[in-house]
């Protein structure tokens, strides 16, 4: 009789232990779904065409934008925190070339209510974001815009945060990672509210004649977007840009004129972009600097 009681007790304990195991597994699965959701995305640009510099017609890799291949991912850590990474590599649409993996940016980030902290090689700098937000030709490869600082910062720590209509970005490179003489800094502020965008940046790359500032504004009138900006750098002096961008359905026309202070070298660029779809477009442009031949270009771009 005692033997049957002992067997029954053992079976009951085994069932109880199994139930505890199943409950623990269910809790782990639920917590994993809630706090470890990850996404990884492959993206890129293929862009190619032809340009004529006034003398020769030749193939051009990246008429509108630079060809690239990138991988980026995000993991939800819970509690409003997210970890993310990006590795982006430049490509050549015309021929095989050796490329360093991540040569257009490789970094890891942590973001939350405090903003985003990014460590590594930044894909784009604070100075770039300020210029692109308030320039008619934006970041097109044929743009005649200049920047207050570098467009990318290697071995850097970056910070960004958006508070209402205001976005703040900052980047810093340690002295030891910047040639050993002096560190580099880059700071920008962009205010975007309705049709109005105001932007400013200040950068110091740590080298002699390495300081630069940018101030720009754009206003969307509906039928067209107009922009005015000024860049002042130790190396190149002061330049002023006036531009306009006019969307007409699938067609967007752009014009930009750059004036360089104390010189007679002014430059203009006229361009047209036609959207074949949300990801594919055609581009044609012409640009000319004083005392130089006009250049023309045509290309096709696909984003994925």
Q: In the prediction, which pLDDT does 207 show?
A: 87
pLDDT band at 34 (very low <50, low <70, confident <90, very high): very low
pLDDT over 60 (residue 64): yes
What percent of the chain lies above the pLDDT cut of 90?
Answer: 72
Q: Give the tens place of pLDDT for each residue, 70-129.
A: 999 999 999 999 999 999 999 999 888 777 899 999 999 999 999 999 999 988 999 999
What does the pLDDT average to over 280-294? 94
Among 93, 80, 94, which residue's Cα sits nearest to residue 35?
Answer: 80
Q: Give the tens place of pLDDT for each residue, 180-196.
A: 789 999 999 999 999 99
pLDDT over 70 (residue 232): yes
Long-range pairs, 113-118, Cβ under 8 A, ≥24: 113/80, 114/161, 115/159, 115/160, 115/161, 115/162, 115/168, 116/158, 116/159, 116/160, 116/161, 117/157, 117/158, 117/159, 118/157, 118/158, 118/159, 118/160
pLDDT band at 143 (very low <50, low <70, confident <90, very high): confident
- Residue with the two structure tokens 């690239």: 68
What percent of the chain lies above the pLDDT cut of 70?
Answer: 88
E-strand ranges in the chain read: 38-52, 57-61, 68-78, 81-90, 105-112, 115-121, 156-163, 166-173, 184-193, 196-204, 211-220, 225-233, 237-248, 251-260, 267-275, 280-289, 295-303
pLDDT band at 3 (very low <50, low <70, confident <90, very high): low
pLDDT over 60 (residue 28): no
């Amino acid at each position: 009789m005692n033997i049957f009681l002992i067997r029954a007790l053992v079976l009951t304990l085994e069932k109880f232990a199994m139930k505890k195991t199943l409950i623990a597994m269910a809790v782990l699965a639920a917590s994993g779904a809630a706090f470890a959701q990850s996404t990884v995305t492959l993206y890129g640009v293929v862009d190619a065409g032809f340009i004529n510099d006034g003398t020769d017609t030749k193939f051009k890799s990246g008429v509108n934008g630079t060809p690239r291949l990138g991988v980026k991912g995000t993991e939800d850590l819970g509690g409003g925190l997210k970890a993310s990474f990006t590795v982006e590599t430049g490509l050549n649409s015309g021929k095989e070339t050796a490329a360093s993996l991540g040569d257009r940016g490789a970094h890891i980030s942590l973001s939350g209510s405090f903003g985003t902290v990014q460590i590594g090689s930044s894909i784009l700098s604070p100075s770039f974001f300020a210029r692109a937000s308030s320039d008619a030709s934006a970041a097109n490869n044929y743009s005649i815009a200049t920047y207050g600082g570098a467009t990318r910062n290697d071995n850097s720590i970056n910070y960004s945060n958006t508070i209402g209509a205001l976005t703040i970005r900052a980047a810093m490179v340690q002295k030891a990672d910047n040639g050993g003489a002096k560190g580099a800094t880059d700071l920008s502020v962009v205010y975007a509210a309705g049709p109005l965008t105001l932007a400013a940046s200040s950068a110091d790359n740590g080298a002699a004649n390495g300081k630069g500032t940018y101030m720009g504004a754009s206003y969307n009138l509906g039928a067209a977007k107009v922009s005015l900006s000024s860049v002042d750098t130790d190396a190149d002096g002061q330049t002023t840009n006036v531009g306009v961008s006019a969307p007409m359905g699938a067609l967007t026309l752009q014009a930009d004129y750059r004036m360089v202070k104390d010189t007679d070298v002014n430059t203009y660029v006229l361009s047209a972009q036609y959207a074949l779809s949300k990801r594919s477009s055609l581009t044609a442009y012409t640009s000319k600097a004083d005392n130089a031949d006009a250049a023309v270009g045509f290309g096709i771009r696909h984003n994925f």
